[in-house]
Amino acid sequence: MLIAGVVFFGLGFGNATSLPPLIAQVEFVKDDVVRAVALVVGLAQAAFAFARRRSA
């Protein structure tokens, strides 16, 4: 059970950190990729902070 939890947490964290840049590279022109990734990561972090704050 513990190993499964560690694996699932790792997969979720990996997807949260690696997928936004990969999707932005495909969907945006080269000059806008950095801005798009920063915006997506910033919004995700704000949402995560709000979710953690509300559950505590």
Query: Rounded to whole angstroms, how far apart are CA atoms 14 and 53?
Result: 22
More confident residue, 2 or 10: 2
Q: How many domains does the chain have?
A: 1
Q: Which residues, including other chains, have CB under 8 Å from residue 36's CB and lie 6 or more apart?
A: 24, 27, 28
Range of the domain at 44: 2-55
**Predicted pLDDT of residue 45:** 82
More confident residue, 55 or 43: 43
- Evaluate if residue 56 carries a pLDDT over 60: no
Ramachandran category for residue 29: left, alpha or beta (phi over 0 → left; psi -120 to 50 → alpha) = beta
Q: pLDDT per residue over 13-41, tens digit each?
A: 777 777 888 888 899 998 999 999 889 88
**Predicted pLDDT of residue 35:** 92
